[in-house]
Structure 1
């Protein structure tokens, strides 16, 4: 049997082999060019990066090398009662080294979660954390660490990112950290949902020029960046075990998760969900949805809480939707094609944008903006949705590739600029994973330059920046949407664009009995399938609250704060405090004096026991654990790389990877030339 020929046939007459000196000239020239590329400054590098960036993986530093030795497991328990979820996150730090260690971990949590409890467990000892001002908590932790005491600290890096630290883990010892928070359950399109971030997409901090608009003192701590590491042991990536117990108060049609395989069981009125694999990689966010039986879908609900003599209420209302003829729209598509979108995220963004373009109607207008560390408008101004223009736009979108940094600000400013003709709804749809570090700067831009536009962020990827997406939708008076995978793009985008045609209610006001402090203070416009959901501190829980709005005719509904459908729910007070802190931070971003806002944030956080940008949770075991004279090393426990992303998808591969790529290019060139010789 003869060997099958697998080489491609020659389609052109072969040229004479180049002389040997010429081969080496080609090789040297290729190598020089490749090295220039490798050593050139990366355009997407972090703003003012640390000289020694934090490592990626489960590692600790020994000498000048990063070695994987510290292992960690995470267990999550969710208890859902109506519209309130109480969530416990337990992390186990295990020291596989032969010396005492300090562990650190960046913990993503829901952007609207109220973090308020910390315990440290070592064997049979249980140490309960206390909320303190940030500097004081840090000083307590450092003193305990230096004196050999076991200690833990939870501090806020950003509203949806918290750093946990634990000191003095002995050789072969395990220490369990338990963080507890409260979170509102979302209700939208007839289904309840709960979202838990399990990893994060590393954030791009922006160029010096862009970041210069933000006071350095108010910038959040820089996030870790990926770096090379030498792995000398078999440490595994972070994993998670997760269980949810739901008492919805009404029969359910289904309990599903679009992000994970789950097992669901029911016992009476209680539903339980666990991961089908029991333990899973924490490389993507967890999303759980439960849908009530259609005839029992709620139209309104009130949950109340009393704490230290103060009364709180959480209100949910589903407004009716009237069929209306859709108005012509001016749709501005803004597509993030930066390096952090590499992999599945870019594919999702392209499919989402293509679907939006395919749904344009005759009479609509549109434009497309793409950005990485530069931006490009497809047309100088919005154009009519004629077949030729739409075909050109779809071809443009299909050609996009993920590369470079995430300079969103200039692209967003260009998208918000201009005015639509009379009679048009101007809608800006932003498809991004929001892997940015200048959230406040971008939100200020949206608030100042939105004009008559409405902004609709579409979160792309397995771990988008939920805090920015939610706040951008609020500032842009729009609504946010998440695309979890390519298979659901059509359904999600069709639903979003259909929703934009049918506003459910605008100019919404609430009249509470007596004085009340409500958050959000300005209720956004609602679209079909969305609900009104607010929390308030009220004088008392008597009487009714009147909700009114335009749909487009005036509409009013009265809801009782006690009796009837009102349900006591401990934890609503904490949700109100978290929302109030959020509002105070918004005011500070808009120019209110930081000293005044800081005092109010600290007061609210201390009274309700919450972590904030100015307060932290600290727990210290009073008994020294590390023998005097023994040194303590430090271990950085990093998050899993988001599913579908590349490990270097921050817009830059890092100099060593680029050098290796350059050498590989040079070797390939040499082999190619030798093959033709």
Structure 2
């Protein structure tokens, strides 16, 4: 299964030279589009983010991409003006970004993060009170694995985002015979999902414009808790045994080759397992569990052996053993007896392993597939420890060209050395992350290399192909469920037929097959909306050629120990990366807004306010002092007070909530009114052993005609931004939003009978760093009987106090009967009279109840 893995983690690190507490930016929109043409995927992330402070700030978010992906474009849109990125050599890009940031300009910089090759960091210095749209596009060849291509998008914005959408378009060379869109998968790799493979994501819409195309749209029904991996798995018709699809456009071609119905070649496999002291505990237990899985997957005709190494070398048997139930049982008994101790002698282990695999007695015929799987969790600490010596010794010992697949277990393994070992010995290295699912990771890797269908595969091209430009056309092993991909230039730009030849070995013997294949053309047929332009589509073969060529150069750089050669390869990689605008390990991307005018932070805030938010009409708000008491609302941390019919004092209660949670305050489906509060964590608690108190940080009000977002730093009414300290009044379709200009109150009128009041609190002893909001329902005429929510649920209710009395501690207690005739609701609860802060910050009496006793 090929994974195109995109993880969007908006991790905001805010830097403010003035030392003022800044409000984290809001993500207003998150759209992801993917366009997959002949396995070449282009994915675009578009995110609208608002800086709600009156000074510029730097925002950093990480985009976790697959290791195989290259960012191909990045741009910012500021005040409706686009600022495209420019790919530069890495150090040049970094200098340009730092220069722009010092001048206070909006600037973005995309660079590969050190020590984590699958993460890209995007730094944005956002001007005061501005919305900025980020658009990042990356491209990758989907490598076929275990018979499927898999497109996976990990989405966790870190906050509720109202507008989230994922769209994926697939166009393939042949009929798409398998297409699966499973439910969102947990981001926890240790979580075992029992959902059947055939289950379809309920929030995904799938359409098939033709047998070769597919369109998938995903709109999550619950954006408030969006945290998971959206997946698409597919494969195409492969009924022809020696399958060769060739795409040729504009002087470049790409050849996809995936033979079908071949029998696996019997394998000779040696497992070299590190059992040094650092492998003690969970690690060695997981390796043992993985070997149990793997041993049961070997098949008749296979031969195997196992080596245990630390300072010393121990083989299970002196030679390779044929697979049979008795040998499997005996080998697993031996594996379970392994104990972790000693140092890590990598050199000794590999040389002895290659010696075993290379002996005449073990290589009995050419129609077998020898493989070494080498696992370690550390660096060489015993015997020969210099990397150059180990690499030279292994190369000299591997005369039989046996693939050595290396598994780097945990963070302490010398992954650089393991990469070199595998790249120099016809294989690849893979990281195994130290977690509770490590055994499954090991097993999955084994599955990928467990069945070789062909060995010593070589492709040749004739006629109009420039063979000097070919990407890798020789493959030591072709494994089941994978695909060979070769690209190159054509001497005839308009060539429509490609003549090619393949030689290699299969389980049935050698093959030498030649064909002339009609080249395929990509189209836009059946596509309603295209992420790619016509020019983008026509350039796919050329982009694929550049992509594969750069990948090979980077692998050669990793494998090489010759500095002169590494420098030459680096310069070639930089040249191609710059030409094709790829962000690779040797390049970065910079985008800077031109310096039209030097503004101070205060000037920027004033200009933003003047240009973006002209008031609809001046209105002195809240000059009146005597405001009637609210019908209900939230106060402080938050506790709630709601006035019941027939009861003198309001009821009061608390509703537990976690930071980041969205709490429905009022919801009326008939009137289409939804009022939601976003919970924010405070900075303290009454008792050291208790979690910090929580508060309402934002209030969202939505009706059929208006959308209002009120936060401690800004107010947005139908997309128009208002400022807390600017007196203003905006009206639309009978609804209005009034700001008192003192930075304390906002009044929202839905209609003449429904009024909400929001109070801002910036200074509280245990309140959040950026303050919090109180919400009050001032008038409630017209709510339907269906109204609900933490506050709204009590609006249609009546109350009746019974058995009111004083306790021995002079407390007033009673039994409160709650009724709601239309819903046949009746409930009696114990209540105690208490004093709580009210609208005017004075203590008012209220009947405290336990909300859990009401059975909502």
Q: TM-score range by the shorter chain?
A: 0.5 to 0.7
Q: Whole-Å Cα distance in 1 between the matches of residues 167 and 549 of structure 2?
A: 30
For residue 530 of structure 1, the aligned residue among 466, 476, 482 is 482
1:120 deviates by: 0.7
For residue 168 of structure 2, the aligned residue among 241, 244, 252 is 244
Q: Whole-Å Cα distance in 2 between the matches of residues 78 and 442 of structure 1?
A: 45
Partner of 1:611: 583
Partner of 1:601: 573
Please say if residues 383 and 389 of structure 1, whose CA atoms lie closer than 8 Å, have aligned partners that are also in contact. no
Partner of 2:336: 395
Partner of 1:539: 491
Q: Whole-Å Cα distance in 2 between the matches of residues 61 and 131 of structure 1?
A: 25
For residue 245 of structure 2, the aligned residue among 284, 298, 301 is 301
Please say if residues 56 and 104 of structure 2, whose CA atoms lie closer than 8 Å, have aligned partners that are also in contact. no
In the alignment, does 2:154 pair up with 1:182? no
Change (3 A) 1:105 1:487: closer
Which structure features the higher share of helix residues? 1
Partner of 1:366: 305
Which structure features the higher share of strand residues? 2
In the alignment, does 2:258 pair up with 1:318? yes
Please say if residues 313 and 561 of structure 1, whose CA atoms lie closer than 8 Å, have aligned partners that are also in contact. no
- Three-state SS of the structure 2 residue aligned to 1:508 is strand
Deviations 1:330-359 (A, max 9, x none): 42154799999999x998765433211334
Partner of 2:57: 101
Partner of 1:620: 592
Change (3 A) 1:96 1:292: same
Partner of 1:477: 426
Change (3 A) 1:249 1:574: closer
Please say if residues 55 and 601 of structure 2, whose CA atoms lie closer than 8 Å, have aligned partners that are also in contact. no
Q: Whole-Å Cα distance in 2 between the matches of residues 184 and 561 of structure 1?
A: 22
Judge which range, 72-81 or 467-476, deviates more. Answer: 467-476
Please say if residues 272 and 372 of structure 2, whose CA atoms lie closer than 8 Å, have aligned partners that are also in contact. yes
In the alignment, does 2:451 pair up with 1:510? no
Please say if residues 483 and 489 of structure 1, whose CA atoms lie closer than 8 Å, have aligned partners that are also in contact. no
Please say if residues 365 and 382 of structure 1, whose CA atoms lie closer than 8 Å, have aligned partners that are also in contact. no
Please say if residues 154 and 165 of structure 1, whose CA atoms lie closer than 8 Å, have aligned partners that are also in contact. yes
In the alignment, does 2:290 pair up with 1:352? yes
Q: Whole-Å Cα distance in 1 between the matches of residues 76 and 281 of structure 2?
A: 38
Over the residues paired in the alignment, what is the CA RMSD in angstroms? 5.5
Q: How does 1:77-156 map to 2 (within 5 A)?
A: 77-95=33-51, 99-156=55-112
Q: Whole-Å Cα distance in 1 between the matches of residues 30 and 297 of structure 2?
A: 43
1:113 deviates by: 2.7
1:119 deviates by: 0.9
Change (3 A) 1:71 1:349: farther
Partner of 1:427: 371
Q: Whole-Å Cα distance in 2 between the matches of residues 376 and 556 of structure 1?
A: 48
Partner of 2:512: 555
1:246 deviates by: 1.4
Q: How does 1:431-446 map to 2 (within 5 A)?
A: none
Q: Whole-Å Cα distance in 2 between the matches of residues 577 and 443 of structure 1?
A: 33
1:181 deviates by: 2.2
Aligned residues: 526
1:152 deviates by: 1.0
- Three-state SS of the structure 2 residue aligned to 1:392 is helix
Change (3 A) 1:318 1:409: same
Deviations 1:503-530 (A, max 9, x none): 3242413224342311225433212333
Partner of 2:178: 254
Q: TM-score, normalised by structure 2?
A: 0.50
Change (3 A) 1:110 1:135: same
- Three-state SS of the structure 2 residue aligned to 1:519 is coil
Q: Whole-Å Cα distance in 2 between the matches of residues 533 and 363 of structure 1?
A: 28
**Higher RCO (C-alpha under 8 Å, 6+ residues apart):** 1
- Three-state SS of the structure 1 residue aligned to 2:108 is strand
Deviations 1:1-56 (A, max 9, x none): xxxxxxxxxxxxxxxxxxxxxxxxxxxxxxxxxxxxxxxxxxxxxxxxxxxxxx99
Partner of 1:192: 149
Change (3 A) 1:123 1:498: closer
Q: Whole-Å Cα distance in 2 between the matches of residues 362 and 560 of structure 1?
A: 36
Q: Whole-Å Cα distance in 1 between the matches of residues 552 and 136 of structure 2?
A: 24
Partner of 1:581: 550
Please say if residues 363 and 384 of structure 1, whose CA atoms lie closer than 8 Å, have aligned partners that are also in contact. no
Partner of 1:519: 471
Change (3 A) 1:323 1:519: same
1:190 deviates by: 4.3
Q: Name stretches of at least 5 consecutive residues in structure 1 with no aligned partner.
A: 1-54, 200-233, 633-677
- Three-state SS of the structure 2 residue aligned to 1:419 is helix
- Three-state SS of the structure 1 residue aligned to 2:593 is strand
Q: Whole-Å Cα distance in 2 between the matches of residues 417 and 65 of structure 1?
A: 63
Q: Name stretches of at least 5 consecutive residues in structure 2 with no aligned partner.
A: 1-8, 186-200, 322-326, 364-368, 380-386, 525-536, 605-856
1:92 deviates by: 4.8
Change (3 A) 1:135 1:488: closer
Change (3 A) 1:501 1:143: closer
Change (3 A) 1:594 1:550: closer
For residue 215 of structure 2, the aligned residue among 264, 272, 280 is 272
Judge which range, 118-127 or 474-483, deviates more. Answer: 474-483
1:79 deviates by: 0.7
Please say if residues 10 and 62 of structure 2, whose CA atoms lie closer than 8 Å, have aligned partners that are also in contact. no
Q: Whole-Å Cα distance in 1 between the matches of residues 285 and 112 of structure 2?
A: 32
Please say if residues 335 and 353 of structure 1, whose CA atoms lie closer than 8 Å, have aligned partners that are also in contact. no
